[in-house]
């Protein structure tokens, strides 16, 4: 087993993806190169998890479309996929919960895989005593690998998400601790110094700094979804900023206009609403 020392990693990106852009996709590529480059990790999968409509962000169009666009964008990718679990929930789901969902899913399927490999070994051969003893120790080491070898989910994000930890009432303190403590963060940023400063100034982030990977993005690739939507409202081209299939889908369904941008205006963002509700109880 060549890669037994490496930790397998699954990158999870949560967000509006309203719409998905080439920049979102680049985050995955940069993160994968970086993590694999450390020699300690092997990135085996990337998951895009579009947020549910209940998030109530201004201009957020239906999850149905956002999921399809993400699927079109990752059609030709061997390792990126879209997961709809979060988007299908009635209520808005905290990111820490989404991370836990995916980690548990990985643990469950890893368990099944190990069972299968045990069963498939040595089909119907007459065993000698020595081999039987070997069998036991092998089973034991497999069990050890079972707990050690489960891929780890890590949250992939840009610097904006990292710094949003500082926005009052947006995140629960315990969730931030869970995200960086139990899972880990891979943050793609242009302004590495600012991000490092932010980590330094936060006790909880500082404590888990080894679990926060800052990856430098040398190319300024400022393809924000907000700018995409603005360009579309103004009849400007978004070609080469989003995958062709996404651009065609947007055009075909006339997805973004001044009307769509007014959705959820005056509505409080779900996490802020929840925090207020909790404070009241």
Closer to other proteins by CB, 21 or 87: give it. Answer: 21
Interface of this chain with other proteins, residues 64 to 103, rule: CB under 8 A: 76
How many CB atoms are closer than 10 A to CB 257? Answer: 11
- C-alpha–C-alpha distance, residues 57 and 85, integer Å: 19
Instruction: Give the range of 117-125, 127-135, 146-154, 241-249 binding other proteins by CB under 8 A.
Output: 241-249
How many CB atoms are closer than 10 A to CB 155? Answer: 23
Closer to other proteins by CB, 76 or 258: give it. Answer: 76
Q: Is 222 in the site for other proteins (CB under 8 A)?
A: yes
Asked if residues 253 and 65 have their Cβ atoms less than 8 Å apart, the reply is: yes
* Those residues with Cβ within 8 angstroms of residue 140's Cβ, 6 or more apart along the chain or in another chain: none
Q: Which of 239, 252, 254, 266 binds other proteins (CB under 8 A)?
A: 239
Considering the complex, what minimum distance in angstroms separates the CB of residue 23 from other proteins?
Answer: 8
Q: Is 252 in the site for other proteins (CB under 8 A)?
A: no
Q: Is 38 in the site for other proteins (CB under 8 A)?
A: no
Is the peptide bond preceding residue 185 cis, with omega within 30 degrees of 0? no
Closer to other proteins by CB, 56 or 213: give it. Answer: 213
Q: Is 254 in the site for other proteins (CB under 8 A)?
A: no
Asked if residues 158 and 16 have their Cβ atoms less than 8 Å apart, the reply is: no
# residues near other proteins by CB under 8 A: 27
Q: Which of 5, 143, 244, 251 binds other proteins (CB under 8 A)?
A: 244
- C-alpha–C-alpha distance, residues 49 and 277, integer Å: 26
* Those residues with Cβ within 8 angstroms of residue 52's Cβ, 6 or more apart along the chain or in another chain: 63, 86, 87, 88, 89, 90, 91, 92, 93
Closer to other proteins by CB, 194 or 244: give it. Answer: 244
Considering the complex, what minimum distance in angstroms separates the CB of residue 231 from other proteins?
Answer: 6
Instruction: Give the range of 25-33, 96-104, 150-158, 180-188 binding other proteins by CB under 8 A.
Output: 25-33
Considering the complex, what minimum distance in angstroms separates the CB of residue 73 from other proteins?
Answer: 9
Helix, strand, or coil here: 124?
coil
Considering the complex, what minimum distance in angstroms separates the CB of residue 21 from other proteins?
Answer: 9
Considering the complex, what minimum distance in angstroms separates the CB of residue 240 from other proteins?
Answer: 4
- C-alpha–C-alpha distance, residues 174 and 204, integer Å: 10
How many CB atoms are closer than 10 A to CB 279? Answer: 8
- C-alpha–C-alpha distance, residues 270 and 272, integer Å: 5
Kindly list the residues in this chain that would bind other proteins in the complex (CB under 8 A).
Answer: 22-23, 25-26, 29-30, 32-33, 76, 218-224, 227, 230-231, 235-237, 239-241, 243-244
């Amino acid at each position: 087993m060549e890669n037994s020392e490496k930790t397998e990693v699954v990158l999870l990106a949560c967000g509006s993806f309203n719409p998905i852009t080439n920049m979102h996709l680049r985050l995955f590529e940069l993160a994968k190169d970086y993590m694999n480059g450390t020699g300690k990790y092997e990135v085996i999968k990337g998951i895009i998890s579009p947020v549910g409509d209940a998030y109530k962000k201004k201009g957020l169009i239906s999850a149905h479309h956002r999921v399809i666009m993400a699927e079109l964008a990752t059609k030709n990718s061997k390792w990126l996929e879209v997961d709809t679990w979060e988007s299908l929930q009635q209520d808005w789901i905290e990111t820490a919960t989404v991370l836990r969902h995916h980690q548990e899913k990985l643990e469950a399927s890893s368990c099944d895989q190990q069972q299968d490999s045990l069963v498939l070994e040595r089909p119907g051969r007459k065993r000698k005593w020595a081999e039987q003893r070997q069998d036991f120790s092998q089973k034991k080491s497999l069990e050890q690998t079972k707990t050690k070898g489960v891929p780890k989910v890590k949250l992939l994000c840009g610097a904006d998400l990292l710094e949003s930890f500082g926005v009052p009432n947006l995140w629960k303190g315990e969730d931030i601790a869970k995200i960086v403590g139990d899972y880990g963060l891979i943050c793609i940023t242009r302004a590495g110094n600012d991000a490092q400063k932010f980590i330094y100034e936060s006790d909880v982030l500082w404590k888990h700094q080894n679990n926060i990977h800052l990856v430098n993005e040398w190319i300024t690739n400022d393809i924000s979804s907000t700018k995409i939507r603005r360009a579309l409202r103004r009849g400007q081209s978004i070609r080469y900023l989003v995958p062709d299939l996404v651009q065609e889908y947007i055009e075909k369904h006339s997805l973004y206009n001044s009307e769509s941008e007014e959705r959820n205006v005056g509505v409080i963002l779900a996490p802020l609403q929840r925090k207020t509700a909790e404070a009241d109880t």
